[in-house]
Amino acid sequence: MIVGAGFAGYRTARALSRLTRGRAEITLLNPTDYFLYLPLLPQVAAGILEPRRVTVSLSGTLPRVRLVLGEADGIDLDARTVHYEGPEGDPGTLAYDRLVLAAGSVNKLLPVPGVAEHAHGFRGLPEALYLRDHVTRQVELAAAEDDPKSCAARCTFVVVGAGYTGTEVAAQGQLFTDAQVRRHPLRSGMRPRWLLLDIADRVLPELDRRLSRTAGKVLRERGVDVRTGTSVKEATPGGVLLSDGEFVDTRTLVWCVGVRPDPLAESLGLPLERGRLLVDPYLSVPGRPELFACGDAAAVPDLENPGGYTPMTAQHAWRQGSTAARNVAASLGIGESRPYRHRDLGFVVDLGGVKAAANPLGIPLSGVAAGAVTRGYHLAAMPGNRVRVAADWLLDAVLPRQAVQLGLVRSWSVPLDTASPELARVPGRPDKHVEEPMHEPAKSQPGGEPARNQAGGEPARNQPGGEPAKNQPGGEPAKNQPGGEPAKNQPGGEPAKNQPVGPGRTEPPGPVRQQDLPSAADSGTSAEGDS
Ligand SMILES: Cc1cc2nc3c(=O)[nH]c(=O)nc-3n(C[C@H](O)[C@H](O)[C@H](O)COP(=O)(O)OP(=O)(O)OC[C@H]3O[C@@H](n4cnc5c(N)ncnc54)[C@H](O)[C@@H]3O)c2cc1C
């Protein structure tokens, strides 16, 4: 049984199914029916790729694997069972002989006041769709504004964390909004402004310095306001207070400070390394020969860098999936096990247009060459849907981008503090937000370490139901938003009508956390953890 169908879990399922050829029953438990190719998510937010392009159907590509839709919420190691909740709230239990935990990671938070309420993360498809709509809407609303101050606030977009996620979001975002304004200029003649903040002294702080230089140059030439050595002290409905004392009026705060392991790893009560389940080089949990873990959720010894653990990247997760499959098969008497060993093959960072920063096999590239390598790499790395992705790229090269917002994902349905970033929150189902220890100082944590200092999961007070606080980044109040109760007899958890929500109402659709008051040391917002 495999929990999680991301890079690690999908590869495990695929490789194991080939290795065992029907001699083992393979079950894959995942909340969605698709594998998500996360590295192309910034292109979904920027309107280059349609969301289904970055998904790969699980049942369509894993014919010999039994897919169970659901989210594991408890693992009984002694009874060898996994308890889960299905997509319609129905509980279930699955028994296993071998278990591979590959549940990935979730947004990392820092205890900065207002961030949980006013920022949005970038870890799943719903958040990317939300951001695309939200940004489009802000520019459209700005275009109708008479007040230059409001117009400027709507057209100012703040991205925190200059790891590859934040860097790509800001780089693509500036191109996206510039294109929108070119076709429909703002009345004030203003240009949308993207700010990219990081506490570190350079963008892409965890990657090769040459990649940082290339990315920093492209961003600055493009007009992105890159602020290194800067973090956010407080987020408010009207903007963000920076660590240097400047207050930036904005309606958009994108939180890309990194990720931390899925809380399922911690729930096992086994030894952890910064929230990741400790495994040996064979990806097996010491003392539990039937339990394997890989990807972001696992602390895998880095044999190329003794004493360290492999970073949380797609590259490692994908290759660890293959090793996990091989070692599970070996434990069943098929083939031989081997330790996980993998050298860094370089990194690619898509900066939008034809620009990218890449260092395949350690060779630094910039400009069009890097752009071509980056796109080629993604096409080769995707386990499916390549033709559709390439077709979208082609269309984007010759046609103007579609700047329309469908408004299907609302602000309240993509809270920053959630254990399920892959699912948009739906009415009537409490969100699984993450409980974490309180009051420990945040550290700059390279390599995907867990965030510390999280507030303890109290519901926020005075949050309007169903939509963000008034003037909160997140846009307009939705009509008929749910107030916690699902509508009766409505398919798919449709919002009930006339629920007590909207501006001035006080019940959110589920718990929203109140922030702790941080110390100055807590507000570090380096983009660690996402490389
Ligand atoms: C926007 C973005 C861009 C990125 N770009 C790059 C890049 O360019 N290069 C790179 O190397 N890395 C990149 N990464 C990091 C990379 O995507 C991750 O390191 C990689 O996805 C980790 O693989 P995984 O299988 O451990 O987790 P994931 O790919 O996240 O998969 C985890 C799976 O587990 C499922 N799951 C979670 N909880 C449960 C549960 N309780 N029960 C059942 N299933 C569950 C999830 O739905 C998901 O399907 C990026 C990450 C993001 C967010």
Question: What is the reported pLDDT for 430?
Answer: 58
Question: What is the reported pLDDT for 64?
Answer: 95
> Exposure pattern of 104-141 as b/e (b: 16+ CB <10 Å)?
bbbbbbbbbbbbbbbbbbbbbbbbbbbbbbbbbbbbeb
Residues 15, 62: Cα–Cα separation, whole Å: 10
Higher-confidence residue: 77 or 452?
77
Neighbours of 519 (CB within 10 A): 12
| Ligand 1 pocket: which of 33, 41, 43, 313 to mutate (most atoms within 8 A of CB) | 313
> What is the distance in A from the centroid of ligand 1 to the CA of 103?
8
For residue 41 and ligand 1, the question of a CB distance below 6 A is answered with: yes
Give the tens place of pLDDT for each residue, 207-243: 999 999 999 999 999 999 999 999 999 999 999 999 9
Question: What is the reported pLDDT for 433?
Answer: 54
For residue 72 and ligand 1, the question of a CB distance below 6 A is answered with: yes
For residue 315 and ligand 1, the question of a CB distance below 6 A is answered with: yes
Is the pLDDT at 395 greater than 70, yes or no? yes
For residue 30 and ligand 1, the question of a CB distance below 6 A is answered with: yes
Give the tens place of pLDDT for each residue, 457-508: 333 333 333 333 333 333 333 333 333 333 344 433 333 333 333 333 333 3
pLDDT (mean) for 48-77? 97
Among protein residues, the one with the nearest Cα to ligand 1's atom 30 is 104
pLDDT (mean) for 288-317? 96
pLDDT (mean) for 368-373? 94
Note the pTM of the prediction, 2 decimals: 0.84
Residues 251, 102: Cα–Cα separation, whole Å: 35
Please list, in sequence order, all residues whose beta carbon lies within 8 angstroms of the beta carbon of residue 427, skipping any fewer than 6 positions away. 482, 484, 485, 486, 487, 493, 494, 495, 496, 509
Tokens of 329: 């098969």
Question: What is the reported pLDDT for 431?
Answer: 57
Residues 20, 247: Cα–Cα separation, whole Å: 59
Q: Which H or E run contains 100?
A: strand 99-101
Atom of ligand 1 nearest to the CA of 4: 34
For residue 314 and ligand 1, the question of a CB distance below 6 A is answered with: yes
Give the tens place of pLDDT for each residue, 144-158: 988 999 999 999 999
Among 270, 275, 311, which Cα is nearest to 287's? 270
Tokens of 204: 């892409």
Residues 354, 357: Cα–Cα separation, whole Å: 10
Among 112, 108, 38, 455, which Cα is nearest to 259's? 108
DSSP 513: B
For residue 468 and ligand 1, the question of a CB distance below 6 A is answered with: no
For residue 469 and ligand 1, the question of a CB distance below 6 A is answered with: no
For residue 123 and ligand 1, the question of a CB distance below 6 A is answered with: yes
Percent of the chain predicted with pLDDT > 70 = 80
Band of residue 521 on the pLDDT scale cut at 50, 70, 90 = very low
Helices 7-20, 314-331: inter-axial angle, 10-degree rounding: 30
**Left (φ > 0), alpha (ψ -120 to 50) or beta: where does 121 sit?**
beta
**Least confident among 179-193, 301-315, 511-525:** 511-525
Helices (H), 382-412: 386-398
Full strand arrangement of the beta sheet holding 239-242: 232-236, 239-242, 247-249
Give the tens place of pLDDT for each residue, 89-107: 999 999 999 999 999 999 8
Helices 209-222, 164-183: inter-axial angle, 10-degree rounding: 20
Across the chain, what does the average pLDDT equal? 83
Among protein residues, the one with the nearest Cα to ligand 1's atom 3 is 39
Question: What is the reported pLDDT for 331?
Answer: 97
Question: What is the reported pLDDT for 404?
Answer: 92
Band of residue 186 on the pLDDT scale cut at 50, 70, 90 = confident
Among 271, 325, 328, which Cα is nearest to 301's? 271
Percent of the chain predicted with pLDDT > 90 = 71
Sketch out the chain's domains with CATH numbers. Answer: 2-105+260-331 (3.50.50.60)
Q: Which residue has the tokens 């999961």?
A: 457
For residue 102 and ligand 1, the question of a CB distance below 6 A is answered with: yes
**Least confident among 16-25, 108-117, 253-262, 518-527:** 518-527
Is the pLDDT at 531 greater than 60, yes or no? no
> What is the distance in A from the centroid of ligand 1 to the CA of 387?
22
The single-letter code of the amino acid at 39 is: P
For residue 106 and ligand 1, the question of a CB distance below 6 A is answered with: no
Residues 231, 34: Cα–Cα separation, whole Å: 35
Higher-confidence residue: 463 or 60?
60
Q: Which H or E run contains 232?
A: strand 232-236
Question: What is the reported pLDDT for 159?
Answer: 98
Question: What is the reported pLDDT for 428?
Answer: 65
**Least confident among 62-66, 330-334, 453-457:** 453-457
Atom of ligand 1 nearest to the CA of 321: 25
Task: Tell me the sheet residues that pair with 259.
Answer: 107
For residue 29 and ligand 1, the question of a CB distance below 6 A is answered with: yes
